[in-house]
Amino acid sequence: MNTLGLVELGLENPPGKTGGPFGSFNPPGPGIASDGFQFEQVNSLMSDTPVPGHFYKIKYGGGGLLETAGRAYGLKSGAERLKRAQTINSHPLNMKFWRPPGNAFERKYFGKGVISFLPRFTCGDRKCFATIWIPPVTYIHPFLGLGTAVDSFDEPVDPRQPQREWGEESAFGHLSARRHIDMTKVPFRWICRLRVFLKQPDGKIKQSFATGTLIGPRHVLTAAHVFDANWANDPTTPAEVLTINVAAGADGLRTPFSWSKTKPIDWQSHPHWRSSQFDPRFDFGLIRLPNPPIAYRRFGKLKNKMLSFWGNKGKVDDTFLLPVEALPKHGIQTLTGKALNLCGYRKHDNGRPILVPAMVRSVSPTARERPVRQLITYAADTSQGISGSPVWYWDEKSKRRYLIAVHHGGCGNCETPPALDDCTTQQVGEDCTSDPKIGVLLTRQVVRQIRDWINEDYDAKRGVAL
């Protein structure tokens, strides 16, 4: 049994150090995560033939760049094959193999340089061949999915009056889910639908959904991968998130507390999230909504009371944002085996929220028999869109809610061996399912980072931290 008082603080392995179940935080190479969670692995993406979305070791005498592009994309000749060849040639992973153009054709279409297919690359005293990346035809965001095409960043309007009922929270095994939720009630009115607009590498703009929690006057806690991730089948191409529409207490097309449009300068992730190649231990971030602070606004649907936010002391009772190390002081000695709650916006629910029961598997799960103290695992029926959801514990005795974690997602994929010891994966059609699910535990370090972010957002005119 895991006792919360034993949860360690700080990084298990400081940047630049090795050891532990996840190895070094220094990026070991394109698309490779630290020694544990490997969302992309070069060896698994290697192919003996040119295949989109894989690395290919070019061979002298095996055909030039045009022929390679034709074989990879099934094109015999023409402008499309030339365009694909230029795409391969100009990819950042392949430019290191360039040589100067050698003839009029190369100077016209590959003026800055062209991939050399000669065995003249440095490999010590040995001769070797270049390993080039064949870019994929379609791009899939690893967490948010394919998305749907959009014409506008504006929110659609639904004039209908909502008809909803209360969704009871899970406590001590009494689970309730899949019911309509009154999103004006505590804590649901602080749960935010995130409508994420992404620009694909081919220029197309699509939308997807994620979830966050209002934890400050205008601050939304969510998973870092919502706005800072990479494309699943191209480990070198980051997803360009253009804007995120945030709607607290949203229910389908209905936004009872209006919505805010944010842009890249309005969000930030943990300092080690990207530098560690998207390690789940650091998968949390904060979105700042525009001024004035939405939490201090009064709404008719709340009988002219303020919206407030999760953990706002003295304003709204019974919701706490505390480090898990402090829970024993509140009579909660362990979370192992406890029933938790997740509430978020799954992609196939038309923007309507769902309350998902969860049962804790492990606080500080193990990887290679060593504890990963920044994570918590639980059994829950989650899917794309739930990312960034609040994971909280409802204490029936005290009638209080404690924010426990930020939902990350599944514990592994079907392409690489799971990092966590108790993780299992299964391929179901085109989808990969994994069990259990992972959350970023709100340790002292995480809570300290969140509060530092909020305190950095300082209103000089009013002289108070927002």
Over its length of 466 residues, how does the chain's per-residue pLDDT go in tens digits?
A: 333 332 322 222 222 222 233 332 222 233 322 222 222 223 445 677 888 877 787 765 556 788 888 988 888 888 889 988 998 888 767 887 888 998 999 999 999 898 877 655 555 555 566 778 887 765 555 556 666 776 666 666 544 433 333 345 554 344 344 456 888 989 999 999 999 998 877 778 888 889 999 999 999 999 998 987 654 445 556 668 899 999 999 988 888 898 999 998 999 999 888 756 678 899 999 999 999 999 999 999 899 999 999 998 755 668 899 999 999 999 999 999 898 999 999 877 677 888 888 899 999 999 888 899 999 999 888 877 889 999 999 888 888 899 999 999 888 877 777 788 889 888 777 677 888 999 999 999 999 999 999 988 755 445 555 5
Separation CA 47–CA 128 (nearest Å):
16
pLDDT at residue 361, as a whole number: 93
Strands (E), 223-316: 230-231, 234-238, 240-248, 260-262, 267-269, 285-288, 298-299, 305-306
Beta bridge partners of 320: 402
For residue 359, what are the CA distances in angstroms to 175, 261, 375, 436, 438? Answer: 10, 34, 14, 10, 12
Task: Return the number of other C-beta atoms located less than 10 Å from residue 74's C-beta.
Answer: 9
DSSP code for 190 = G
Task: Return the number of other C-beta atoms located less than 10 Å from residue 427's C-beta.
Answer: 11
- Judged by DSSP in three states, 181 sits in coil
Write down the pTM of the prediction. Answer: 0.70
Domain ranges for the chain = 54-134, 148-465
From 438, 426, 449, select the one nearest 367 (Cα to Cα).
438
Residues 6+ apart with CB under 8 A from 149: 204, 205, 206
From 109, 62, 56, select the one nearest 85 (Cα to Cα).
109
pLDDT at residue 33, as a whole number: 29
pLDDT at residue 62, as a whole number: 55
For residue 230, what are the CA distances in angstroms to 235, 241, 279, 383, 463? Answer: 6, 11, 12, 18, 39
Buried b (16+ CB within 10 A) or exposed e, 226-247: bbbbbbbbbbebebebebbbbb
Q: What are phi and psi of 104, to 5 degrees?
A: -65, -40
pLDDT at residue 205, as a whole number: 87
Q: What CATH fold (topology level) applies to the domain 148-465?
A: Thrombin, subunit H (2.40.10)
Side chain identity at residue 146, one-letter code: L
Residues 6+ apart with CB under 8 A from 221: 212, 213, 215, 284, 285, 286, 388, 390, 406, 450
Separation CA 52–CA 55 (nearest Å):
8
Separation CA 361–CA 386 (nearest Å):
19
For residue 459, what are the CA distances in angstroms to 126, 145, 267, 288, 397? Answer: 61, 37, 17, 13, 39
Parallel, antiparallel, or unpaired for β 458-459 and 98-99?
unpaired
From 246, 241, 207, 205, select the one nearest 226 (Cα to Cα).
241
From 386, 337, 331, 375, select the one nearest 358 (Cα to Cα).
337
Residue 169 token pair: 């929270």
What is the 3-state composition of the chain as percent helix, strand, coil, each rounded to the nearest 5? 20, 30, 50
Separation CA 434–CA 418 (nearest Å):
9
pLDDT at residue 133, as a whole number: 81
- Cα 176 to the chain's mean position, in Å? 26
Yes or no: say if 404 and 373 are a contact pair by the CB < 8 Å rule: no
User: Which alpha helices (DSSP H) does 74-209 contain, by range?
Assistant: 79-90, 104-109
DSSP code for 187 = T
Side chain identity at residue 170, one-letter code: S
Separation CA 445–CA 9 (nearest Å):
6
